[in-house]
Amino acid sequence: MSVTDELLANNARYAETFSGPLPLPPAKHVAVVACMDARLNVYGALGLAEGDAHVIRNAGGVITEDEIRSLAISQRLLGTEEIILIHHTDCGMLTFTDDGFKQSIEDEVGIKPPWAAEAFSDVEADVRQSIARVKASPFVPKKDSVRGFVFDVATGRLTEVA
Amino acid sequence: MSVTDELLANNARYAETFSGPLPLPPAKHVAVVACMDARLNVYGALGLAEGDAHVIRNAGGVITEDEIRSLAISQRLLGTEEIILIHHTDCGMLTFTDDGFKQSIEDEVGIKPPWAAEAFSDVEADVRQSIARVKASPFVPKKDSVRGFVFDVATGRLTEVA
């Protein structure tokens, strides 16, 4: 049995006690942008329940064009007003460089990715970079509460980046 | 108190019983790409625990350049091998068109977004589109298990898209 099949069996159990549907717009009017890291359970770490918040995730929890697209849809069409950005300690993005990663792909498949890998060497600095990218976007209208945090994978605790 | 502050209070309670750190590479060697929808709790719906899987999310659960970036990092640097794609019923992406959404932004702020909004009119067809985009990418090496599903927000159940 593949892992996918194992997770589908888990889903059958989840559905047994599931009660829906909830409304489409997030009840808490908040959108979270977080790293895809497996140790960062966003619902658990923020005490979210189904229906509470949009959760956007990618490698690093960085802000690229696609996160601006998601945030624009979240705020303009579905009423979210606060943004929470979450990076974390021991991030994989600290372990390589854009140039090195892209060169390794080019060496293997002959094509250099046309995108930035978005590696970073300082987690807190990259949280600030993400906040700055959101604030600079003309497509995200509500910026009164755009706050950034580092999740500690040892303690489970969020620390705000000033 | 803002919602963000309320969620930080939840985090303090979460950290009280948190035990870390777990290893960086996902234990189940799987990456999930899902919609940001608030009603789709990926950890709950798949029975994932902290440390199990990469979770990538955006508006629609679509595959754009940024999801290829995240999947490339997930597979090439952190050892994931299976990909699970999840769209869902009653998705906000069914309620608008790219042209209409972009025109409304241009009307309001004077700038037309240079990106596609990635709206769709058929959830299952867009799951197939996402699978096709992953399979077409030269940057994602492991494609033996790329499976797509629709999450029913009424029942909590995943149905595979053939």
Q: Evaluate whether residue A89 is within a structural domain.
A: yes
Q: What is the CATH number of the domain that holds B67?
A: 3.40.1050.10
Q: pLDDT > 90: what percent of chain A?
A: 99
pLDDT number for residue A65: 98
Q: Which of A18, A27, A117 lies at the smallest CB-CB distance from B155?
A: A18
Q: What is the mean pLDDT of the segment spanning B131-142?
A: 98
Give the mean pLDDT of A101-117: 98
- At B86, the pLDDT band (50, 70, 90 cuts) reads very high
Q: Report if residue A29 sits inside a domain.
A: yes
Residues of B whose CB is below 8 A from A65: 64-66, 114-115
Chosen from B2, B4, B37, B157 to mutate, greatest number of chain A CBs within 10 A: B4
> Annotated binding residue at B29?
no
Q: Are the CB atoms for A80 and A30 separated by under 8 Å?
A: yes
Nearest-by-Cβ selection for A21 from B68, B70, B154? B154
Q: What are the C-alpha distances in Å from A2 to residues A148, B117, B162? A: 37, 34, 17
Of the candidates A13, A36, A69, the beta carbon closest to that of B54 is on A36
Q: Is residue A5 in some structural domain?
A: no
Asked if residue B9 belongs to a domain, the reply is no
Is it the case that residue B1 has pLDDT exceeding 90? no
Residue pairs spanning A and B at CB distance below 8 A: 274
- Looking at the 3D structure of chain B, how many domains does it have? 1
Distance CA B91, CA B78 (A): 31
- Find, in chain A, the residue whose alpha carbon is nearest to that of B105: A139
Give the residue-averaged pLDDT of B43-65.
98
Residue B126 lies inside a defined structural domain of this protein: yes
Helix, coil or strand: residue A120: coil
Residue of B nearest to A119 (CA): B73
**H helix runs in B17-155, sequence order:** 42-46, 65-78, 98-109, 123-136
**Mean pLDDT on B51-56:** 98
With an 8 Å Cβ cutoff, are A20 and B77 in contact? no
Interface ipTM = 0.98
CB atoms within 10 A of CB B31: 29
The residue range of the domain holding A28 is: 22-160
Residue B31 maps to a domain: yes
pLDDT higher than threshold 90 for residue A124 = yes
Q: What is the DSSP letter of B23?
A: P
Which pLDDT band, with edges at 50, 70 and 90, does B36 fall under? Answer: very high
d(CA B41, CA A46): 12
Q: Residue A1: which pLDDT band, with cuts at 50, 70 and 90?
A: confident
Strand ranges of the sheet holding A145-151, from the earlier edge strand across to the other edge:
A158-160, A145-151, A82-88, A30-35, A53-58, B53-58, B30-35, B82-88, B145-151, B158-160
The pLDDT mean for chain A works out to 98
